[in-house]
Each structure stands twice: as structure tokens, then as C-alpha cells.
Amino acid sequence: MSGLRELFGGAITATLPTTLLDASDFRQIPDTQEVYLSPTSGISIIVEVLQSVSASDLREAASQHFDALAHDNDAKSQVVNETVDMPNDSNGSTPNPVVLYGTQTVQKFNSASADEVRILLALYRVPEKNVDLVMTMNVPMTSADGGAVSEDDWGTARDVFHVAARSLRILDYGLFA
């Protein structure tokens, strides 16, 4: 079951599964992020307020954010599978996102093997504020710590991400001051 979640104190909303745990309830999260975790797998959803990257083409900008994520993850390999434009349901009040589908091979700290993580990334550009709002879903397909999901679960996760990406609303642009 999904429901409308308030992010950043209500400045943004998105439809997310009600079973997701708010990571700020048990660990410190930067003010520029909202992090939600699956209680039954290694799936996570992160919404992050970032400074716009230099690329003016949104597909290239999404790739730059994907590359930055791969760098932050110390990914052993990375591939962008597809980048598509996705309309949202906001009637123009929120920018339409560009959605990137990719895969990264990531070796976690103290692990002998690398995990295959499928990445879904939605980029909402807010040019008047020089902001890229980025929603990322990490879906481990193989995982040394047991958090991997099946192909069927991947399909469900992808559907959840599409609902979240289409439903995201920026209600208060003052968040980006």
C-alpha cells in the first residue's frame, strides 16, 4: 500500500509505499536528503537537493548525476541502460523528470564480492534556483549481505519508482533558497 509522504517538511510530496522506513528515525541524514529504506530488502529511495550540474541537456545532466553516484559508491563498473522523458501528474507546477535506468557494480566495505545494483534516477531541474532535485532508487540484484531482490521484485520496485517519480510535487520552491 502506498500513500502521500511529505518530504523536506512538506515542501515536496511523493507517493511512496507506507512500509518504507524513514532513515532519519534511526540515523543522521543530511538536510539536503530524504532517505527511505525497505524493511525487507536492500532497496532504498533517496530524494536529494543538489546544485545543478553544468549540462544543459537533461539527459546528459542525469548521466552526470549517475556518474557522480558511481564515483561516490566507488563502483567497479557502471552502465546507463536507458534515459527517457517522463511526464508527471502536476499540471505544470513541478518540472517533468528525465528518468535514467542504469546498473552499477559496487563492492561494499569489508565485502569480498561486488553487488549488482540497478539504479533508477529521476532528475527534476529547477533552473531559476540552480537546483537539480534527484530521486534515486537503489535495487540490489545481488548482494553479499542478503538484501538482494528477485526479478519479480525488481519489476515491483520499478513500478513503485514510476509512481513516485510521476507523483512528486514541489509545493514550496522556497526550499531551494
Query: What is the domain class of 18-161 according to CATH?
Result: alpha beta
DSSP string covering 54-103: S-SSHHHHHHHHHHHHHHHTT-SEEEEEEEEE---SSTTSSPPPEEEEEE
* pLDDT band at 86; cut points 50, 70, 90: very high
Q: How far apart are CA 22 and CA 59, in angstroms?
A: 29
Under 8 Å between Cβ of 124 and 132: yes
Read off the pLDDT of residues 24-53 as tens digits, 9 standing for 90 and up: 999 999 999 999 999 999 999 999 999 999
Domain ranges of the chain: 18-161
| Predicted pLDDT of residue 144 | 82
Q: Label residue 115 exposed, middle or buried (CB < 10 Å: 0-12, 13-18, 19+).
A: buried
Q: Where are the alpha helices (DSSP H) in the chain?
A: 58-72, 151-167
Which pLDDT tens digit goes with each residue over 118-159?
A: 999 999 999 999 999 999 999 999 988 788 999 999 999 999
pTM comes to 0.95
DSSP state letter for 149: -
Query: Which residue type sits at 90?
Result: S
